[in-house]
Amino acid sequence: MGRVDTRRYIEPVGVRKAGNTGLVNINLAVTSFALHTLPIGTPSTAKIRKILAFNATGANVNLMLGYLTLAAAFVQTIPDLFCLNGFENIWNEADLPNYEFRPDTTLVTGTLGDIIAQISACPANQVAVILEVEEIRQ
């Protein structure tokens, strides 16, 4: 008897891929940097499945992930991720909340659904971040 994949009955399965902006160097504190952008023509959503961040700032920092509203305000959707200085910081699917980034066309408070990152401080150098996402076509 074959194995039954019960996950497909619970939630849709998408395509796993690296964030389409590639490796992003965050070099300014409290400034928004895009880690993954959703396609405009095709309705889709995205879930973060893995994060790899290398902190070379000279101090421990918090990595904040969320989205920008259509009024350009940052909204944090995932709790702060503590990045140790000088270490490769890795968060896998089990370590992250199952938040789904999706477009919303509501005026001012809506979003394009892109995954945005900020860091709490940046004494010197930068934090290099790359994501693995699961993109789901609607």
Question: Across residues 41-58, what is the average pLDDT?
Answer: 90
pLDDT over threshold 70, residue 48: yes
**pLDDT tops 60 at residue 5:** no
Task: Quick: pLDDT tens for 74-87.
Answer: 999 999 999 999 99
Give the model's pLDDT for residue 17. 82
Cα separation, 4 vs 29, whole angstroms = 46
Over residues 7-30, the pLDDT tens digits come to: 556 666 777 788 788 899 999 998
Cα–Cα distance between 44 and 33 in angstroms, integer?
A: 20
Q: For position 96, what pLDDT does the model report?
A: 94
Q: 94 pLDDT band (50/70/90 cuts)? A: very high
**Other Cβ atoms closer than 10 A to 99:** 15
Q: Which residues contact 49 (CB under 8 A, 6 or more apart)?
A: 16, 92, 93, 96, 132, 133, 134
CATH numbers and ranges of domains, the chain: 14-137 (2.60.120.20)
Q: What is the mean pLDDT of the chain?
A: 87
Nearest CA to 101 out of 62, 66, 75, 71 is that of: 66
Residue 6 has pLDDT above 60, yes or no: no
Cα–Cα dist 75/117, whole Å: 10
Question: 15, 134 in Cβ contact below 8 A?
Answer: yes
